[in-house]
Amino acid sequence: MLSTNFVAGAPSWADLTTPDMAGASAFYQGLFGWDTISGGPDTGGYSMFQLGGRTVAGAMPMPSEQAPPAWSVYFQTHDADATAASVREAGGSVLSEPVDVMDFGRMAIFTDPAGAGFSVWQPGKLMGLERVQDPGSLCWVELYTSDEGAATGFYSSVFRWETISMPMPGGTGTYRMVNPAGEGADAMFGGFVPIGSDQTESDIPPHWLLYFEVADCDGTVAEAERLGGTVRAAPMDIEGVGRFAKLTDPYGARFALMQGVKRD
């Protein structure tokens, strides 16, 4: 599971690119109870979403013609420059070379060989997200890819991820899950899905999808619709895992919800 231990290779940051910062802030405040904390003029409009005083994501205003509205995931690295070299070696692309973000840290933006975008964060003053797994915070990430085997090879080369495949309920195949090197199954943070196996995602190029934990999946979906969001996949159950749904916010950024099974 996700944690705030900031292990190399694990998700450590998430942010939203949106054409309407005020509107997006209102939507996510209504949906998850997030407060928006402006980073000030020196950050180019970059802001933090916080829940209970702890940061759960970032957000940046961006005209739609420059970049589509989207949620992005960042993976922790000790050396962004070395990771950029590994991405190139493994067949990925460097969209934005490693760059310092004031004294907060160092970041870079990549795509994997299939075109799915992701970023890395090398912490400085800012380690990463301060809250995960709780309702209203990031709890899982999922890669929709055209070639699951190639994706496994690429990310294992870049981040040294370890994988385990579990049978899907009802005998509908297997689900490949990933964890940081040496951290074991308890540190699983995401999974890989062949893009053609999910009709909700089949018309979209390879991409990472971010899941946020909720206490009531159906109630949160209804609230998202009331606030102007769109339901891409209605709430459904996964045996032994929980209840999930897929949405877009009012500006087109895709994300998902997960109401995890309560365990004793």
Q: Domain containing 84 — which CATH number?
A: 3.10.180.10
pLDDT tens per residue, range 53-84? 999 999 999 988 888 999 999 999 999 999 99
Q: Apex CA 223: angle with CA 16 and CA 28, to 5°?
A: 25
**pLDDT value at 42 more than 80:** no
pLDDT tens sequence across 104-142 = 999 999 999 999 999 999 999 999 999 999 999 999 999
CB 191 within 8 A of CB 176: yes
Q: What is the pLDDT of residues 201-249, one digit of tens each?
A: 888 899 999 999 999 999 999 999 999 999 999 999 988 889 999 999 9
Q: Is 30's pLDDT higher than 70?
A: yes
Residue pair 11/189 in contact by the 8 Å Cβ criterion: yes
pLDDT digits (tens, 9 = 90+) for 1-25: 888 889 999 999 999 999 999 999 9
Are 144 and 255 in the same domain? yes
Instruction: Evaluate if pTM is beyond 0.85.
Output: yes
In a domain, 132, yes or no: no
**Cα separation of 4 and 2, whole Å?**
7
Q: Assess whether 111 and 49 both reside in one domain.
A: yes
pLDDT tens-digit profile of 150-201? 999 999 999 999 999 887 766 567 889 999 998 988 999 999 999 988 888 8
Domain boundary among 123, 146, 171: 123
User: Are 195 and 255 found together in one domain?
Assistant: yes
Domain boundary among 63, 98, 123: 123
Do 234 and 145 share a domain, yes or no? yes
In this prediction, residue 259 carries a pLDDT of 96
The residue segments making up the domain with residue 64 are: 11-123
Q: Can you list the positions of beta strands (E) in the chain?
A: 11-18, 35-38, 47-51, 54-61, 70-76, 93-101, 105-111, 117-123, 138-145, 162-167, 174-179, 190-194, 207-213, 230-238, 242-248, 254-260
Domain co-membership, 19 together with 91: yes
Q: What is the mean pLDDT of the chain?
A: 93
